[in-house]
């Protein structure tokens, strides 16, 4: 008996690992060597095509709680992220090349995993996890649409540009973390009000790349900065260009600040934080080089916009990530209706665990809704079918606390309750079966 895992992104890689560690044979299909999507650059697995950040590592944030849960549950992808992390304040950011290579090597050498480099055009028969990601190739996407009996839902996602570190003018830019929290890990490019106003006027009239689809739905968390700018001249000042806590030494606070985050361990590449964009490449260069300190910026990777495809999860799958109509078919990653890197990893982990139980004729594992992983699974299975949209993990998905507590302690209590629930699963041995 073997399980097909289609796609070796974050979710597929995690699912394959969870199956293999439970001695389940896996055929892991990845098409990148024969056919890449527009957003892909590497041949390796678990490529981070957008930001290199897995968001906050603090237990005061639901994403931080989810990562803590994943670490306790022996997540291969989190292990790679921790091993190849780069400075990013309170966030967990990684060297995307080394991160991908580590996961590729670990899965390739695993005796329970067979790597198959080819495009899968139809849903295979037999136990299968579909983890083809937000850019599922057209032939398979059509087959999935035919299977679920409805059009695939979708939204648009945008990628931020990456700059060569040596091309940044450090006479104008400076290192600092907001409010001096942690190490000074971010490069900051300050703007005066006059500089910002001039730059803003150019941004809102800059040319964007053509979008072929009639309707464009943009996920709020990945909205292109030029679209955000069109909401008003001060909108960016409360978003990616927020200057609060970023004054240089004892100088007056800048009117606006563009931040750049380290993108690799060698510190040779930095990405523009919050600068997801679908401006044309020439316009990206022109707009970026108007920023003080980036006048000679060498753009190593331009930002692009791409379509993210996902199923209507509550109509199609249950809280185990299992198809409601075909017991041996599971979905994972952004295709399953989750949003974000960490969320994709969590879905892959749970889908892998439950597929391993399914093929061994065991009852699927329901993760406690008090956990970040469990509350996400519960949301995608039980959200409104008519208005479903992907959502990052957040404390709003957690069940309310059933005892009196101070509001300022709520997040800490949510985190402790979640991790206690995970510890309970580990202690009784249920999670590792």
- How confident is the model over 146-192, as pLDDT tens digits? 998 776 777 777 788 999 898 999 999 999 988 777 778 899 999 99
Q: What are phi and psi for residue 348, nearest 5 degrees?
A: -65, -40
* Distance of alpha carbon 165 from alpha carbon 297, whole angstroms: 8
388 vs 244, higher pLDDT: 244
Joined together, the tokens standing for residue 429 give 């041995």
Q: Are the beta carbons of 15 and 355 closer than 8 angstroms?
A: yes
Given a cut of 50, whether residue 31 has pLDDT beyond it is yes
Report the candidate in 196, 176, 349 with the shortest Cα–Cα distance to residue 249.
176
* Integer Cα distance of 341 and 422 in angstroms: 20
User: pLDDT grade, residue 214 (50/70/90)?
Assistant: very low
Place of tokens 């670990």: 106
* Alpha helices, DSSP H, located in 169-266: 193-204, 225-229
Among candidates 355, 391, 388, 354, which has minimal Cα distance to 376? 391
pLDDT 10s digits, 38-67: 667 778 999 998 789 999 999 999 999 999
pLDDT digits (tens, 9 = 90+) for 317-338: 999 999 999 999 999 999 999 9
Of the listed ranges 37-51, 158-172, 359-373, 385-399, the least confidently predicted one is 37-51
DSSP state of 363: P
CA dihedral over 328, 27, 121, 48, signed as positive or negative: positive
341-359 vs 372-382: helix crossing angle, rounded to 10: 80
In Å, what is the CA distance from 369 to each residue of 140, 152, 186, 324? 32, 27, 36, 20
Which sign, positive or negative, has the C-alpha torsion 196, 261, 69, 353?
Answer: positive
Side-by-side strand order, sheet with 329-331: 113-116, 25-29, 2-6, 128-130, 329-331
Distance between CA atoms of residues 433 and 425, nearest Å: 10
Decide: 360 and 369 in contact? Cβ < 8 Å.
no
21-30, 147-156, 196-205, 266-275: the lowest-pLDDT one: 147-156
Q: How far apart are CA 328 and CA 321, in angstroms?
A: 11
For the chain, give the percent of residues with pLDDT over 90: 69
The tokens for 165 are: 């570190």
pLDDT averaged over every residue in the chain:
91
Assigned token pair, 112:
């329970």
Over residues 344-367, the mean pLDDT reads 97
Neighbours of 428 (CB within 10 A): 10
pLDDT in tens, 282-301: 999 999 999 999 999 989 88
**Among residues 380, 335, 359, which one has the least CA distance to residue 367?**
380
Is 7 in contact with 30 (CB distance < 8 Å)?
Answer: yes
pLDDT of residue 211: 59
- Rounded to an integer, what is the distance from CA 306 to the centroid of its chain? 14
Mean pLDDT calculated for residue range 355-359: 97
CB 270 within 8 A of CB 165: yes
Among 22-26, 261-265, 374-378, which is the least confidently predicted range? 261-265
Instruction: Give pLDDT, residue 221.
Output: 60
Q: To 10 degrees, what angle do helices 76-83 and 62-72 make? A: 110
pLDDT in tens, 109-127: 999 999 999 999 999 999 9
Lowest mean pLDDT among 2-6, 199-203, 205-209, 417-421: 205-209
- Cα–Cα distances in angstroms (integers) from residue 95 to residues 178, 220, 258, 334, 344, in the given order: 22, 25, 21, 22, 19
> Please, what are the domains in the chain?
2-156+309-427 (3.50.50.60), 162-303 (2.40.30)
Q: Using an 8 Å Cβ cutoff, are 34 and 68 in contact?
A: no
Q: What is the dihedral of CA 180, 191, 301, 120, to 10 degrees?
A: 70
Dihedral angle at the C-alpha atoms of 375, 315, 321, 43, nearest 10 degrees? -110
Cβ atoms of residues 42 and 380 within 8 Å? no
9 and 31 Cβ atoms separated by less than 8 Å: no
Across 16-20, 351-355, 403-407, least confident range: 403-407
DSSP state of 206: S
At 128, the pLDDT band (50, 70, 90 cuts) reads very high
Beta 2-6 vs 25-29: how paired, if at all?
parallel
Q: Which element (helix H / strand E) includes 427?
A: helix 410-427
423, pLDDT greater than 60: yes
**CA separation for the pair 63, 58 (Å, rounded):** 8
Residue 101 has pLDDT above 80, yes or no: yes
Q: In whole angstroms, how far apart are CA 267 and each of 92, 181, 278? A: 16, 20, 26
């Amino acid at each position: 008996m073997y399980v097909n895992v289609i796609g070796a992104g974050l979710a597929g890689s995690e699912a394959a690992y969870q199956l293999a560690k439970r001695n389940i044979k896996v055929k892991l299909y990845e098409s990148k060597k024969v056919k890449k999507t527009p957003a892909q650059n590497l041949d390796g697995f678990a490529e981070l095509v957008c930001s290199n950040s897995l968001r906050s590592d603090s237990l005061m944030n639901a994403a931080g709680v989810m990562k803590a849960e994943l670490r306790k549950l022996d997540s291969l992808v989190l292990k790679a992220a921790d091993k190849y992390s780069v400075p990013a304040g309170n966030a967990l950011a990684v060297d995307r090349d080394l991160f991908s290579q580590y996961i590729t090597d670990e899965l390739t050498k695993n005796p329970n995993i067979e790597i198959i480099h080819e495009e899968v055009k139809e849903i295979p028969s037999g136990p299968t996890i579909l983890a083809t990601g937000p850019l599922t190739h057209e032939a398979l996407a059509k087959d999935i649409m035919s299977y679920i009996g409805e059009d695939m839902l979708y939204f648009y996602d945008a990628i931020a540009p990456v700059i060569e570190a040596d091309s940044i003018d450090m006479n104008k830019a400076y290192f600092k973390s907001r409010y001096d929290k942690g190490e000074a890990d971010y490069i900051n490019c300050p703007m005066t009000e006059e500089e910002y106003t001039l730059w803003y006027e150019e941004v809102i009239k800059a040319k964007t790349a053509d979008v072929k689809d009639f309707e464009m739905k943009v996920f709020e968390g990945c909205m292109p900065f030029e679209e955000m700018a069109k909401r008003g001249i001060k909108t960016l000042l409360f978003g990616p260009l927020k200057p609060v806590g970023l004054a240089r030494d004892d100088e007056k606070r800048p009117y606006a600040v563009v931040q750049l985050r380290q993108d690799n361990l060698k510190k040779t590449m930095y990405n523009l934080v919050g600068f997801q964009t679908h401006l044309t490449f020439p316009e990206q260069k022109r707009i970026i080089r108007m920023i003080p300190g980036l006048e000679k910026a060498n753009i190593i990777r331009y930002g692009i916009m791409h379509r993210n495809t996902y199923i209507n999860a509550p109509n199609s799958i249950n809280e185990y990530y299992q198809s409601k109509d075909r017991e041996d078919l599971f979905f994972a990653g952004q295709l399953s209706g989750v949003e974000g890197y960490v969320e994709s990893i969590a879905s892959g982990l749970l889908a892998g665990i439950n597929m391993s139980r399914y093929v061994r004729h065991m009852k699927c594992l329901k993760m406690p809704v008090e956990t970040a992983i469990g509350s996400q699974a519960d949301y995608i299975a039980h959200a409104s079918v008519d208005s479903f949209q992907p959502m990052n993990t957040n404390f709003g998905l957690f069940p309310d606390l059933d005892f009196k507590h101070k509001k300022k302690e709520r997040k800490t209590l949510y985190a402790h309750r979640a991790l206690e629930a995970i510890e309970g699963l580990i202690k009784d041995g249920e999670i590792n079966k």
